[in-house]
Each structure stands twice: as C-alpha cells, then as structure tokens.
C-alpha cells in the first residue's frame, strides 16, 4: 500500500510506493514500450481486460463493460493510490503521513486505438470533457477527498506509457501544492483589488489584442486560449472560460461543447506549428469542498514537451524559456508551421 508523505519544510505531499517499490535494478532494466500485437486493453471488445467501468458514454441498449461506448472511465489497474481504507493521519516526530488513499482512474477517450484529441469530432471531445466533469461530481461525494487532478500525457516524451488515447484523474485527500500556490496568490490579488486575477488577465489580453498585440491565441463561444505572460515552457498555453467560474464541475453541456471547440482547435494548431509534439495537460479547478470562489478561475494548462527540464529548473523553480509568449501566440494564431 502506498503512503502519502508531507515534506516538513515546504509542505509538499508526495505519494511513496511502499508495496511495488522500485529497486535499483528496476531502473536499469526500464523496458521499452511493451509492444503487443493485437488490440490493447482499452480497445473496443477488450472491456473485460480492465477493472469494471465507473462511467461510460454508451449507445442505447449496449451493456456495461461491453462494446458500444464512445468514452469509458475505469479504475487504473495499477493505481498510485487506493480507494479502500481510512486516511489515518499519523505523526512521526517532525513528519506527517497518511495512508495512500485516493482514486486513480483512466478516461479512455475513444474505442479507437489510433484516435487522438486532435481528430475527434467536437461532440466526442465534449463527451470526454463531460466525463472529467461527471467523475469530479461523483468523487466529490466522497468526504475523504479534497481535490481531483485531471491530467493527460500525450506522447511518449510527455510520459505517456500507453498509446491508446486516454486521460487520467487522481483524487487526493489534500490540495496539490501548485494549486495551493495559485489559490494563495489569487487571494492576495483579490484582497487588494476585489477582482479575480484571471479575469484581469483576460481583460488585459483582450485589450492588447484590439491593438494587434499580445498573447491571445483565440477566443470563441465564451472560452479563450492564450500564452501566459511568464510561461515556464515554450508554447505553454492556457484555456479558460471568459467569464468568471471557479469550478469546472459547474460547466453545462453547451459550455463543454464550446470548450471542446477551443481545446481541439488549440491542439490542432500545436500539431501544425510544432509537427505533432508530445504534450501535457492539467485541469486546475477549485478544491472540491469550497463554495464558489470569487478569486479562483478554473483553467486548463497545456505545455508541449520541447525542452528538457534540467537541474537549474527543478532545483530553483526558476525556468529558462527560449520562446517569448508573444511569438508563440503569433505562431499559434497564424497556425502555420515555419520551415527551417
């Protein structure tokens, strides 16, 4: 069973595997991708090879854990955290730990092994985004959980270990440090200005756009995509609702379709400009147990994997980004690759 442990200095929680722990030799013999002939466990017709589904978007008359679905959510077969048990917060001198309780689920985005978010129809992508929402709403009922992190690794360089298109979610009994940092910074801004900082950012970027400048990539149907002012990574992109909303769970069906249009468009632009890069996506929404927050604005962060993080970055939290966001935004707006 895994353990959740807190760094006593900075307060960062980490998940430590104690059961299937990796010995030194395991790192040496890290396998190349398991290549198997035939369909994978996420393909249509292979439903019995996964744990039972917790959610599926299915055609009328199709049975659970059988073909006929377009989006399917299953528990991760090798979860980082386990759903069964009590939290049992324990002290050990200076240190704090908790049993490794959480949910770790896989959102299979299509029955087709070769599909991708870039090629799915908008309505299908909206169903994926709806599955994220519906799982968050369901997991919110579990009083042990404070947060649901939804993320997607696309491509091997981004850490994807399976080819079949899928995203993941991890529900945890604490709010992740990165989101805590955003909540604190945004609250500081709100206390002084009485305004949401992301609303302010959108306003400033829209105003810059009028002058033909700035970092806005596109805006459509109530959603905007932009290059942030101080991105950690080249072509880092944020997608967010134009009007203030703190919780992703509250998105209605029409909004999800509009979000799918913008998100799909952004991914296709990245594919064109950067020749199908690997990328990571994370959804930042308000913590589960908070009421609607005036100072937090949910958003999606996408970063293509173009550079390698080295010692300076992880050791200091200081990033060196070789592409100014104004240029990244211009390339993504124009959407055409520049040849060498």
- Contact between 34 and a copy of itself by CB under 8 A: the answer reads no
Examine residue 190 and tell whether it contacts a copy of itself (CB under 8 A). no
Under 8 Å between Cβ of 298 and 232: no
Among positions 31, 84, 143, 275, the unique one binding a copy of itself when judged by CB under 8 A: 275
**Distances, alpha carbon 291 to alpha carbons 172, 235, 238, in Å:** 18, 33, 24
Phi and psi for 58 in degrees, rounded to 5?
A: -125, 150
Q: Which residue's CB is nearer to a copy of itself, number 61 or number 311?
A: 311
Shortest Å, Cβ 335 to a copy of itself: 11
Query: Could you tell me which residues come within 8 angstroms of residue 334 by beta carbon, excluding any fewer than 6 positions away?
Result: none
The site map against a copy of itself for 213-242 (x = CB under 8 A) is ---------------xxxxx-xx-------
Contact set for a copy of itself, span 306-325 (CB under 8 A): 306-312, 314-325
Q: How far is the CB of 314 from a copy of itself (least distance, A)?
A: 6
Q: Which of 116, 119, 140, 204 binds a copy of itself (CB under 8 A)?
A: 204
89 binds a copy of itself (CB under 8 A): no
Kindly tell me which residue out of 14, 51, 52, 114 binds a copy of itself, with binding defined by CB under 8 A.
14
Between the CA of residue 161 and those of 79, 164, 165, 172, 339, what are the distances in Å? 14, 9, 11, 22, 30
d(CA 296, CA 132): 19
**Closest to a copy of itself by CB, 194 or 308:** 308
Q: Which of 51, 85, 89, 159 binds a copy of itself (CB under 8 A)?
A: 159
Classify burial at 208, counting beta carbons within 10 Å of its beta carbon; exposed 0-12, middle 13-18, buried 19 or more.
middle
Q: What end-to-end distance do the CA atoms of the chain give, in Å? A: 51
Find where tokens 């992301």 sit.
198
76 touches a copy of itself (CB under 8 A): no
The reply to whether 56 sits near a copy of itself by the rule CB under 8 A is no
- Tally of residues, the chain: 340
**Which lies closer to a copy of itself via its Cβ, residue 20 or residue 141?**
20
Please report how close the Cβ of residue 29 comes to a copy of itself at its closest, in angstroms. Answer: 6
Residue from 43, 107, 108, 170 in contact with a copy of itself (CB under 8 A): 170
Contacting residues for 43 by C-beta, under 8 A, at least 6 apart? 111, 112, 113, 164
């Amino acid at each position: 069973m895994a353990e959740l442990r807190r760094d006593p200095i900075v307060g960062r929680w980490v998940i430590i595997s104690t059961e299937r722990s990796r010995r030194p030799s395991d790192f040496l013999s890290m396998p190349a991708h398991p290549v198997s002939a035939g369909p994978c466990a996420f393909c249509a017709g292979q439903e019995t090879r996964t744990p039972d589904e917790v959610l599926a978007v299915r055609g009328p008359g199709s049975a659970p854990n059988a073909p006929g679905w377009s989006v399917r959510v299953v528990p991760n077969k090798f979860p980082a955290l386990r759903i069964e048990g009590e939290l049992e917060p324990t002290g050990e001198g200076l240190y704090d730990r908790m049993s490794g309780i959480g949910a770790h689920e896989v959102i299979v985005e299509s029955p087709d092994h070769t599909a991708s978010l870039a090629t799915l129809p908008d309505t299908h992508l909206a169903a994926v985004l709806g599955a994220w929402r519906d799982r968050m709403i369901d997991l919110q009922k579990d009083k042990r959980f404070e947060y649901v992190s939804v993320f997607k690794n696309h491509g091997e360089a981004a850490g994807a270990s399976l080819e079949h298109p899928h995203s993941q979610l991890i529900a945890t009994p604490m709010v992740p440090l990165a989101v805590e940092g955003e909540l604190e910074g945004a609250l500081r801004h709100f206390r002084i200005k009485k305004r949401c900082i992301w609303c302010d950012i959108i306003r400033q970027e829209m105003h810059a756009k009028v002058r033909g400048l700035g970092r806005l990539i596109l805006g459509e149907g109530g959603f905007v995509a932009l290059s942030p002012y101080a991105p950690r990574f080249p072509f880092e992109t944020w997608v967010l609702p134009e009007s203030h909303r703190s919780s992703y769970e509250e998105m209605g069906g029409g909004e999800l379709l509009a979000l799918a249009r913008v998100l799909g468009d952004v991914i296709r632009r990245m594919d064109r400009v950067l020749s199908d890069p690997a990328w990571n996506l994370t959804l930042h929404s308000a913590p589960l147990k908070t009421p609607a927050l005036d100072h937090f604005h949910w958003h999606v962060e996408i970063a293509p994997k173009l550079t390698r993080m080295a010692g300076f970055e992880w050791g200091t939290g200081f990033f060196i980004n070789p592409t100014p966001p104004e240029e990244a935004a211009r390339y993504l707006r124009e959407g055409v690759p520049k040849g060498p």
